Structure 1
Amino acid sequence: MLFGKPKRKVKRILIVEDEPLTAFDNETTLKDDGYEVVETLDGFDEALKAIEREPVDLILSDVRLRSQQTGIDLARAAKERGIPTLFATGQAYPHAREVAIGCLMKPYSEKQLKAAIESVDRLLQGGKVKVPKGLQLFHPETGEPV
């Protein structure tokens, strides 16, 4: 596309975050940027039900959730269904590359969140990605760092 925004692969995002203010900010930021937020939830069980009933292009999830199961458990379940997960967390997970497409470290700004989602989108489309500050990305098939 010569002018305007490029075509997105990531259009429908499920937000799973146990901090209400962060969840609200993420939802507002993503909606304002033209994404469809499928739902904003704070627990594993609700998120699992959402991905079973709704098409989702990407899950934006914290590692720690309100429920006993974690964002890691959710990322594993999502990966089995072919849905990539981007962790947005203050708690680094050393094995993120095994279950997620990336990890955005808290605290992050609106600009960093938007850049992270755009980078994930480019990566999923097979494009070259310049990884923004605060983001780790992993190749969707190999798990190798980008």
Structure 2
Amino acid sequence: MRIFGRKKGRLERLLVVEDEPLVAFDTEHVLGAAAYEVVATVDRASKAIALIVGDQAIDLILADVQLADGSGLDVARAARHRGIPVLFVTGTPPAEASELAEGVLRKPYGPRDLLIAIAAIEEKRMGKTPARLPSGLRLFAGA
């Protein structure tokens, strides 16, 4: 069952880095219903980094900042070295987020906001100005 339709895009394989089980479950469900492929959902920075440096194909990482064993900032640094974009999904965006990520989606957010945020990042990466932004999303120019 698809909740929200989407066009075939470039950001298809997503890594979810979230240590709150209910948020992780909801995120997986929303992404799957929207026809994204969740390559993995992990709750630790070390597991995420192992996937990033491994052979796993990842198009976008959705990462919380505060994780059980470290920081989403470490995940974003590893992703940057591999050219993988990151969207921080957090209630407390770090000061250095603009240097490491495409944007920040502030918690709490709804399913529709998450999907619109991913679409906005995809548009931005294709050189377009995103048509819609959820109120909790902040995109960065640099990253």
**Normalised TM-score (structure 1):** 0.89
> Are the equivalent residues in 2 in contact too, given 1:9–1:125 (CA < 8 A)?
no
Distance 2:41 2:107 in 1: 18
What is the SS of the residue equivalent to 1:113?
helix
Alignment partner, residue 73 of structure 1: 74
Cα deviation for residue 53 of structure 1 reads 2.4
Alpha-carbon distance between aligned partners in 2 of 1:108 and 1:81, rounded to the nearest angstrom: 28
Amino acid corresponding to residue 14 of structure 1 in structure 2:
L
Structure 1 partner of 2:34: 33
Distance in 1 of aligned mates of 2:6 and 2:34:
11
Q: Displacement of 1:13 after TM fit?
A: 0.2
CA contact (8 A) 1:85 1:101 kept: yes
2:45 touches 2:71 (CA, 8 Å); kept in 1? Answer: yes
AA in 2 matched with 1:41: V
Which residue in the other structure is 2:103 paired with?
102
Deviation, 1:73, is: 0.8
Show structure 1 runs of 4+ deviating over 2 A.
Answer: 4-7
Q: What's the offset of the Cα at 1:29? A: 0.3
2:61 maps to: 59
User: In the TM superposition, what whole-angstrom CA distance separates every residue of 1:87-129 from its partner, at most 9, and x where no partner exists?
Assistant: 0001121221100110000000001111111111111111111
**1:138 corresponds to which of 131, 137, 140:** 140
1:48 alignment counterpart: 49
How far apart are the structure 2 equivalents of 1:25 and 1:123? 25
Aligned length: 137
| Identity percentage of aligned residues | 45
Aligned residue number for residue 85 of structure 2: 84
How far apart are residue 6 of structure 1 and its match?
Answer: 3.3
- Equivalent residue number for residue 111 of structure 1: 112
User: CA separation in 2, counterparts of 1:137 and 1:97?
Assistant: 8
| CA apart distance, 1:70 | 0.4
Contact 2:6–2:34 (8 Å) recurs in 1:
no
- 1:50 to partner: Cα distance: 1.2
